[in-house]
Structure 1
């Protein structure tokens, strides 16, 4: 592969870096403080601060909007390949909340891809266009508390046809995005036919948040963080009735839709995690130069220099593997690229956890406090080792495929 970024990608990198320097980093702490202030009141906890809307308009005006959608989805999005988008997603990952500024945040990105690829004209008009405009947000409901949901065939939520409607019953949790007041639509995965073949039992259906029978039970914390104002919800579906037209593609297509959705989604998380790790390394380098211990800066300690060097090597290795995975996805598609997608999903979160942990150690108590971003990005990195499938699932599948290929 060519390790040089394309001219188009380089231009966008420069523009995005300039935007981050001018508009994001200067207000990073102010935005966090606004979120925390709103979180102290039940009435405002899940409301997005006005500052976000101001930044989104600036991103639109700068032409840095919906960068994640590839060429096949034009006229929606910027028409970038996965390889072209990778460094941009990494830059956004350096500030946890900045992806939303550019309308490139999860779970909306995955849901917009699903609606673009599988949605009907009516779905696109009602839900995709407002999402693309950043006017609403969305949620993806798959994980369930009662079963090991990393294997989607285990899910128990039922989607039953009754005339010209479907009736949904089940309980989901860690439904990302569902707490936010701007969340208007959920993509829900459930089973339409438990007697069908194992991977043809599942379907995906669109459920508006205000549908009778939908109850947001509580906000779920991830490593102690509630991720206001977006949030992760436990959601109860009790005889939730939606039109049959809300079903995506058809009965039994849910697993195929999920696999198509999770390919780009998984690698987007890896890109953002590399951004988080790079930011942690940058902060660590600044900290060890300014912090005095035993009569000299920490940067003079040999052990610190060795750790900094290893952190850099680990980030660079994961970055290159991510780019290779993105390039293969562009060339051959998600299905053919499943092994390298699994590999980077194993590597990137562990790398980020290790690098951020070292940065926390170099900051001392400050690294665990609200005065740096390190604690929150560590929680994110650790959570991603479970989200979109735990490490063990990816290692099991990758190992199985490698053994099979070697003995073919």
Structure 2
């Protein structure tokens, strides 16, 4: 959530920057300024009314003490009137504040200067590419056919149990899935991230804290009986561990990692591009989250990008890194890098990770602050990234490592799997 003082001070700059997102910010930011002026004016009236009421209350006591009962009763009537006025002003102030907060929730984060202009994912900027695309034998199969051939993922059985988008992993497929989770967690903890196991359901306050609510409410599974939400990513519970906290500067950075299943409705997703593991309603992901001092957050973002590059190098998967354009960047992000792995059998790039710096946008919602060396409270910066999302990594391994003898397991995963081939 943007800070009102910053909106007032940089309104024209924000309007121009938000235009990168194809977001018309002029009328919305003007309304923010208008509501803030009304809030301050109402607060001033309320403060004056309460001050007058307190003054009269003291005078009433003195008048009664001096035997001036008639004057005291007149002031009591005025005090009663002032109490009614203050009650009305308090109600008005609460309504203005609520309207202001709800309006601020509708405004996306201001994109970083480096975010390119663009309307959609076609306008994203490729900034790095690495790895050789393997040449497969004739008759190479996409991963959903390989899963059926080797009996390692059963999509139809998932439909029977739940519905489309809920696959069942079997045998070596389940073991490879488990191996990837352990490998990702080990890489993250070795890099200094502390591992957490967190709840898979969150309350509404957590959804608002990290920005999934109200923006992505329709994409989240809602347990209506308990008013809880199934998490779309571990980012939500992990980051919300620090909601409302006042940290000390010496505690930063805070680096967290965690594995969770993720649940996304993905409403309106149809077609060949979402076949097999390409898009699911339930999938596994290992996440990294950082809480940083503002001046260090972009260096930390670069470090996260380097960390994920190292993982993909060890897996020996061909990948590229994209800087997302204004029309494709997430609602809460100031700058996002997407990682994509090349699926040789599908002849297309598949997104496997997003790494983002939210600057103070989430922290303002979370009321996540730290006390700096001067004793001043500051909003922290939050960052997160997939390290990594499993379905498309698994799809990339199945397709790029297929051989006439079977699917070869990447060398780095063999100690975790306990086998070298799926055959």
Q: Same fold by TM-score, threshold 0.5 exceeded?
A: no
Q: Who wins on radius of gyration, i.e. which is larger?
A: 2
How does the TM-score come out when normalised to structure 1? 0.25
**Relative CO higher for 1 or 2, CA cutoff 8 Å, sep ≥ 6?**
2
Query: Comparing both structures, which one devotes a greater share of its residues to strand?
Result: 2
Query: Comparing both structures, which one devotes a greater share of its residues to helix?
Result: 1
